[in-house]
Amino acid sequence: MDSLSDDSPRKVLERVSGALGCSPTSLDVATHLDKHDPLRHLRKQFLIPKVGDLPPSDLSLVDGAEDCIYFVGNSLGLQPRSARKYIDEELDKWAKTGIHGHVEGARPWAWAENNIEELMANVVGAKVEEVALMNGLTVNLHLLLLSFYKPTPSRHKILIEDKAFPSDHYAVESQIQLRGFDPQQSMLLMKCRAGEDTLRTEDILELIRREGDSIAVVMFSGVQYYTGQLFNMAAITAAGHGKGCFVGFDCAHAVGNAELKLHDWGVDFACWCSYKYLNSGAGGLAGAFVHEKHAHTVKPALLGWWGHNLKTRFSMNNEMDLVPGVGGFRISNQPILLVCPLQASLEIFSQTSMPALRQKSRLLTAYLESLIQHYYARDEAQPHLPSVRIITPPAPEERGCQLSLCFSVPIRAVFQELERRGVACDMREPNVLRIAPVPLYNSFSDVHRFVSLLGSALTASAGLPRGAQPSP
Ligand SMILES: *Cc1c(COP(=O)(O)O)cnc(C)c1O
C-alpha cells in the first residue's frame, strides 16, 4: 500500500482489482488490502466483541463465534487489551500499599496523567505543555470558555455550527447567559445552504468576515458528529484571527481520527473526550489544549490545587504558584483508574502515527463508499428498492473515517436487522446510519461483510423476497 500512497483512494481500488483480475466488488479486493495493510497488527491489541456476546444478535442468522462488525468507534472505542492489566496493577498497588501508591510504582498516582501527556500531545499536534488531561469534555469546554469568552457590548457573539452536538450547544448557551447576554442575540448558529447537508468552507469564512467584529469566540467542532464533515480548522482559525476573535475547536470526533496540528494552526484552545476514537472507556479522562502563546496571559477562571506547580504543590502554604498555560486549568487530582485505559490506548497510537492511520483510513472509508454507491445508490429503473445517499463530503480531506448514510426508508427496522446480524453501528432517526470504520482495528473485510449484511438487512426489513436487493 505504501508505494501507492500518492494515489487517490479510488485509483488504488481500481488498480488492485485490475491487478487481481476481479471485480472491484469482489471479496478478493478486501482480502488483498488486508494482507497488505501495514497496520493490520494493531487490531490484535484490541478486544473485539464476538457476535454471540452482543445482546441483539440472532444466532439463527449468524455465527456467534465470529468477531462482530464494530463500526461504532466514533461513539465508544474498543477496549485495548492492556487496559485491564494496567488497572489491575493499580488495584493491586492500592490493596498492598495503600497511600504509598501516590508516589510509588509505574504510575505514581500524584502525577500519573503527566506521564501520558506527551503521547496525547503527539496525537493532537501540540507541545506537551499545551495539553492537559482532566475532567470530562463538556466540563473542559466550560473551563476554557470561562477564560476565552469575555464578551463586551460590541463583541459578544459565539459562532458555532447549527445542530452542534447538544452538550456543546447547551454549554455555549449557558456561558452566554452566565455573562448576562441573551443567546438569541449572541449565539450565532451557522446553517447549511438550503438543500445541502454540510457547511461550505467558503461560507464559513465569509460569515466570519461579515460578522467577525461582533464575534468573541469561534467555536466549531473539528469533525461534525452527525455528518462526519471534517472542517478546515487551519482556514477557520486564520479567518477568526483576521477579525480578532479567539478560535477554539471541540475535537471529540477529530482526535485520533483526523490529523490535527493544533499548535501549528495557531488554534487558541481545544477540548476533546477520550472514549471515542481514543478508546479509553466510557466517561474516560478528557483533554484540553491552550496554545503556548496564551501561557502567561490567559488565566484559568477557577483554581484548584492541581493547577499549582507540582514541585511545591504539597507544601500546602496557600500561596498559588500557578502552572502557566493549560496546566494551571487543572483543579482536582486525576482519577488513576481512568489514566490506565487511556495510557493503554495512547501506547497503541504511539506504535504508529496519525499520517499512517489517515492513509489507511482514507482508503478504508473510500472502499466503504464505493461499495455503498455500487449497490445502494438510487436506481431510477428500480425506484421501489431502498437506496442510500451519503451525506458526508466525498473529498477525503473533508472527512474522517465516518460516513453518514441517509436512507430512503425509515431506518429503525434496517438498523434492527443489522444488529440481529452482529453489526454494531449508530442510528439517528428518522433515516441516518453513522458508520465508522476505524483504521486502528477495522479491516477491509469488515467493510465488505458489512455491505453484504446491509443487503440482507434491507431485504428483510422491507419484506422483499430474498435476493431482491443486490449485495455482494
Ligand atoms: C461525544 C461528545 C460530547 C460528549 O460530552 P461529554 O462531556 O464527554 O459527556 C460532547 N460534544 C461533542 C461534540 C461530542 O462529540
Predicted confidence (pLDDT) at residue 449 exceeds the cutoff of 80: yes
**Measuring from atom 15 of ligand 1, which residue has the nearest CA?**
252
Cell digits for 356?
499512517
Q: For 249-280, write each residue's pLDDT tens digit.
A: 999 999 999 999 999 999 999 999 999 999 99
Geometric angle at alpha carbon 327, from 326 and 329, rounded to 5°: 65
Cell 483576521: give the residue: 242
CA of 464 to the centre of ligand 1 (A): 39
* Of 429 and 187, more confident: 187
2 pLDDT tier (thresholds 50, 70, 90): very low
pLDDT at position 3: 43
Given a cut of 50, whether residue 389 has pLDDT beyond it is yes
**How many C-beta atoms lie closer than 10 Å to residue 326's C-beta?**
33
137 CB under 6 A from ligand 1?
A: yes
Mean pLDDT rounded to a whole number for the chain? 96
Of ligand 1's listed atoms, the one at least distance from the Cα of 140 is 7
Q: Is pLDDT of 358 > 80?
A: yes
What angle do helix axes 137-148 and 166-178 make, rounded to 10 degrees? Answer: 30
Q: pLDDT tens for residues 287-318?
A: 999 999 999 999 999 999 999 999 999 999 99
- 205 marked as binding residue: no
pLDDT of residue 289: 98
| Ligand 1 contacts CB of residue 225 (under 6 A) | yes
Task: Check whether 76 has a pLDDT greater than 70.
Answer: yes
Which residues are CB-contacts of 214 (< 8 A; sequence separation ≥ 6)? Answer: 154, 155, 156, 157
Distance 164 CA to ligand 1 centre (A): 10
The residues that bridge with 187 in the sheet, in sequence order, are 158
Q: Is the minimum distance from the CB of 168 to ligand 1 under 6 angstroms? A: yes
Q: What is the pLDDT of residues 139-149, one digit of tens each?
A: 999 999 999 99
The answer on pLDDT for 4 being more than 70 is no
20 is known to lie in a ligand binding site: no
> How many angstroms separate the CA atoms of 301 and 293, rounded?
18
Q: What is the pTM of this model?
A: 0.96
Radius of gyration of the chain (CA): 23
- Evaluate if residue 341 carries a pLDDT over 90: yes
Res 6: pLDDT: 55
- For the Cβ of 221 lying below 6 angstroms from any atom of ligand 1, the answer is yes
Please report, rounded to a whole number, the percentage of residues in the chain having pLDDT higher than 90.
Answer: 93
The single residue listed with the C-alpha cell 498516582 is 109
Determine whether the shortest distance from the Cβ of 275 to ligand 1 is under 6 A: no
Predicted local confidence at residue 464, as pLDDT: 80
Distance, CA of 226 to CA of 61 (rounded, Å) = 30
Question: Which residues 6+ apart lie within 8 Å of 4 measured at CB?
Answer: 11, 12, 15
For residue 270, give the 3-state DSSP assignment.
Answer: strand
Centroid of ligand 1 to alpha carbon of 283 (angstroms): 10
Distance 166 CA to ligand 1 centre (A): 8
Ligand 1 mean position, distance from CA 138 (Å): 6
Does any ligand 1 atom lie closer than 6 A to the CB of residue 165? yes
pLDDT at position 469, please? 76
Q: Average the pLDDT over 407-436 and give the result.
A: 95
Tell me, what's the pLDDT at 279?
98
Cell numbers that stand for 285 in this block: 479522562
Q: Predicted confidence band at 471 (pLDDT cuts at 50, 70, 90)?
A: confident
Q: Which range among 5-9, 13-17, 99-103, 198-202 shows the weakest confidence by mean pLDDT?
A: 5-9
Q: Name the more confident of 467 and 379.
A: 379
* Bridge partner residues of 289 (DSSP): 131, 270
Question: Does residue 255 have its Cβ closer than 6 Å to ligand 1?
Answer: no
